[in-house]
Structure 1
Amino acid sequence: MFKLFSKKEENTNDFAAVVSGKIIPLTAVNDDVFSKGMMGTGVAIVPDDDVIVAPCDGEVTMLFPTMHAFGMKNEDGVEILVHIGIDTVNKQGVGFKKFVDAGTTVHRGDKIIRMNSYDLKQEGYDLTTMMLFPGCEKKMSFTTDGYAKKGKTIVAEYKKEGE
């Protein structure tokens, strides 16, 4: 009976959406490097928001100087690469603002990067944002359709050893 009032234990082996928008399978991304899994398995989101957030609690392990991508590692050591858009590296950081640096400990939903989606779209950039799990040895499952709410909607999960 008292379980109603107890704090719900959060699942630490899942990853929330890094941006709000339409979820699509990685195979639907308009770039072979991503759609053929060359950068790892994962999921993609066509954003309708400018703010990219942390998908989990962990450490920002790298932040590209162009701010179009960043890497994280969660408490279990699972690595995730978030890549914002296709060919956005060509902008050399113009249109992006960072809120953290490499080495920063973050929590799910913390702001990482803001993009100026209006200007980037006007210049013809595809802003589909990929959540990739390069070299992940753990069994992963992904949400491949629907609408994601940044920091909330679970789009990726893995099975821990022994589960």
Structure 2
Amino acid sequence: MFKLFSKKEENTNDFAAVVSGKIVPLTAVNDDVFSKGMMGTGVAIVPDDDVIVAPCDGEVTMLFPTLHAFGMKNEEGVEILVHIGIDTVNKQGVGFKKFVDAGTTVHRGDKIIRMNSYDLKQEGYDLTTMMIFPGCEKKMSFTTDGYAKKGKTIVAEYKKEGE
């Protein structure tokens, strides 16, 4: 009788958009490394915002010195790579500001990096931001269109064993 009021056990992990903007399938990204899935499965967002946030609760496991990408691991151990733009590594960190360091525990929606999208776009950079889940190809489902609000819109879901 009281099971009716008990909380259902969570069997999935949700990942929110890391930036606000238009959601696109990874296959639409203008870089074969991402569009052909060489880095893993995922989803992309064409940003209309400068702030990149944490997609989930977890730990920032790596932050590239060039600030164009960072890695995270959620509380369940699912790893995610967030890559900001195409060829933005060439900027060597110019146009990016970090809010955290590797090893920082964060919550969904916490600020990770700010990019100067105006200057980067003026220089011709495509700022499509990829959310990559290495080694999770068979366990992920994605939203591949629509508009995402950073830290709010769920764009990826990880299904645990047995689902």
TM-score scaled by length of structure 1: 0.92
CA distance in 2, matches of 1:8, 1:113: 35
SS at match of 1:109: coil
Change (3 A) 1:160 1:10: closer
Contact 1:138/1:160 (CA < 8 Å) preserved in 2? Answer: no
% identical aligned pairs: 98
Query: How many pairs align?
Result: 163
RMSD, matched Cα: 2.4
Change (3 A) 1:106 1:64: same
**What whole-Å deviation, never above 9, does each CA across 1:122-163 have from its counterpart, x for those lacking one?**
000000000000112661000000000000000000111233
Change (3 A) 1:7 1:139: closer
Contact 2:41/2:137 (CA < 8 Å) preserved in 1? Answer: no
Greater CA drift, 8-17 or 106-115: 8-17
Contact 1:138/1:158 (CA < 8 Å) preserved in 2? Answer: no
Structure 1 ranges of 4+ moved more than 3 A: 1-12
> How many angstroms does 1:69 deviate by?
0.1
SS at match of 1:4: helix
**Which runs of 5 or more residues in structure 2 are unaligned?**
none
CA distance in 2, matches of 1:31, 1:126: 10
Change (3 A) 1:8 1:123: farther
CA distance in 1, matches of 2:152, 2:8: 15
**Which runs of 5 or more residues in structure 1 are unaligned?**
none
CA distance in 1, matches of 2:119, 2:94: 10
> How many angstroms does 1:5 deviate by?
12
Residue 26 of structure 1 corresponds to 26
CA distance in 1, matches of 2:45, 2:145: 9
